[in-house]
Amino acid sequence: MARKSKYETHVEPYLASIPELCLSMNEKELAEHLGISEASLNTYKNEHPELREALLKGRRNLGNELKATLRRRALGYEYVEVKTTTRQDGGKTIIVIEETKKYSHPDVAAIHLLLKNIDPEWHNDDNATLEIKRAQLEIQKAKAEQEEWG
């Protein structure tokens, strides 16, 4: 009887968890976590569509999570900060947990990035700079055409 491949023993049992692992690992780290080489992972991706799909799902999930985080930063959000302290009182250790509701203000850089990628009317470059760049491009094109015929 033939020996099981590493795919069957090291990858297949973990297919369901691979999309979640992709949130915190790149492919090299994932291969290492699974106990296989990166080259083997690449080979298995080509041979097993279910692995390829699990990796793609993980990348999509990561992209969606990053977009949601960026959106949250752009809009501002509330969060609870937990501070744990200990102190001695008459030979007893007392643990004090303080919860404070805080607000993170909208992040200008996140707003800018979202607007630049979502709204086609939004751009950071002023019109004069854009016109100069267009004129430079036209001059370069004309020069290149002259050199072709020259």
Sign of CA dihedral 33, 27, 19, 43: negative
pLDDT at 8 over 80: yes
**pLDDT in the model for residue 90:** 86
Q: Which of 57-61, 95-99, 116-120 has the lowest mean pLDDT?
A: 116-120
Neighbours of 121 (CB within 10 A): 5
pLDDT band at 144 (very low <50, low <70, confident <90, very high): confident
The whole-number average pLDDT for the span 51-64 is 93
Q: pTM of the full predicted structure? A: 0.57
Average pLDDT, rounded, for the chain: 89
Residues 6+ apart with CB under 8 A from 6: 35, 36, 40
Nearest to 23 by CA among 66, 52, 53: 66
The closest of 19, 109, 5 to 56, measured between CA atoms, is 19
Domain ranges of the chain: 6-149
pLDDT band per the 50, 70, 90 thresholds, residue 115: confident
The pLDDT value given to residue 136: 92
Q: What is the pLDDT of residue 149?
A: 72
- Per residue in 16-49, pLDDT (tens digit) is 999 999 988 999 999 999 999 999 999 999 999 9
**5-18: average pLDDT:** 93
Tens-place pLDDT, residues 76-113: 999 999 999 999 988 899 999 999 999 999 999 999 88
